[in-house]
Amino acid sequence: MERRNQTGAGDFILLGFTDDPDLQSLLFVLLLAIYLVTVTGNLLIILAVISDSHLHTPMYFFLSNLSLADIDFTSTTIPKALRNIQTQSKGITFAGCVSQILSFFVFGCQDNFLLTVMAYDRFVAICHPLYYMAVMNPQLCLLMALGSWLVSVLVTLPDSLSVLRLSFCTNMEIPHFFCDLSEILKLACSDTLINNIVMYTVAIVLGVFPLTGILFSYSQIFSSILRISSAEGKYKAFSTCGSHLLVVSLFYGTGLGVYLSSAATPSSRMSLMASVLYTMLTPMLNPFIYSLRNRDIKVALGRVLRKMVPLSAHLT
């Protein structure tokens, strides 16, 4: 009954990670640190790409879009979790829950599509270098970026808005730190067959087609690299796509871990922890992966940081 008093009528309750006050204080600091590192790291990548003319290429254009999507993706879940811990209130309104589901899917899909576009960019650069500038022209890059945003919204709208047709039972407790659609459907009193069909159809489409495109691109890339005679040439070619391949592995690896853990142990703490890897760890590590393995990014970041230090000293 005490939990029910924390919310109004029709509100959901996000159970979060723990009820222990001491652990909640530690959790608040940890989540805040993850969020600040994620936002700062991805924002620095965006500033570096914008400020350095040497980075005005298709690869870094898509990278800056990926960083923006990661900031939005993380901002969908962590700020609400931080607010609930700080205020000791676990409630979230139905409208807020639907908005969180929609935002989560849109920005998650955006990550998915951008990684696919970036794989195609590397495919053209390595397999067809003579035609790279002609194929990956600014108009096509802009169209691909805008298209990925538009398709993300259109694909995820039916999945998210289908929740509006549901009625819910008295149990409104979600064993998660955000409104996870699969957990929401378990609380519904009405028939969820249509919702499940839509959810799994969208998941299959968004999982199979982009991943197939990425795997095809890299199969062609590896074939081209193996045909390079010199070891130095092979290393240079592979280094241009190594960071992207690592990010793809991290993104799909953690995402697959979420769904496998959910299927094996529904509503378990294992599923919750797998979601942490997917929603927090991947967006936080992406800037480090690209900056530590890329000399151009490191040089541009150095320039950005040198400009920021005198500015901060002047403001103080």
Whole-angstrom Cα distance, residue 242 to residue 261? Answer: 28
The C-alpha atoms of residue 110 and residue 117 are separated, in whole angstroms, by 10
- Give the model confidence (pLDDT) of 26-52 as tens digits: 889 999 999 999 999 999 999 989 988
At residue 147, the pLDDT reads 92
Report whether pLDDT(105) > 60.
Answer: yes
- CB atoms closer than 10 angstroms to residue 34: 18
DSSP summary character for residue 188: B
Chain segment 188-210, per-residue pLDDT in tens: 888 888 888 888 888 788 878 88
**pTM for the whole structure:** 0.86
Query: How many domains are there within the chain?
Result: 1
What is the domain extent for residue 282?
4-315
The token pair that represents 209 in the structure block: 């087609």
| Angle ∠(252,46,313) on CA atoms, nearest 5 | 130
d(CA 268, CA 256): 16
Residue whose token pair is 């197939």? 212
Q: Write the DSSP string, 46-114.
A: HHHHHH-GGG-SHHHHHHHHHHHHHHHHHHHHHHHHHHHHHHT--EE-HHHHHHHHHHHHHHHHHHHHH
pLDDT at 268 over 60: no
Could you give the C-alpha distances from 260 to 106, 188, 199, 245, 263, in angstroms and in order? 22, 23, 16, 22, 5
pLDDT in tens, 133-157: 899 999 999 999 999 999 888 888 8
* pLDDT given for residue 242 in this prediction: 80
Q: What is the Cα–Cα distance from 33 to 23, expressed in whole angstroms? A: 15
How is residue 233 written in tokens? 């040439």
Query: What CATH number does residue 255 fall under?
Result: 1.20.1070.10
> CB–CB of 49/73 below 8 Å?
no
pLDDT tens digit sequence for 119-133: 999 999 988 888 998
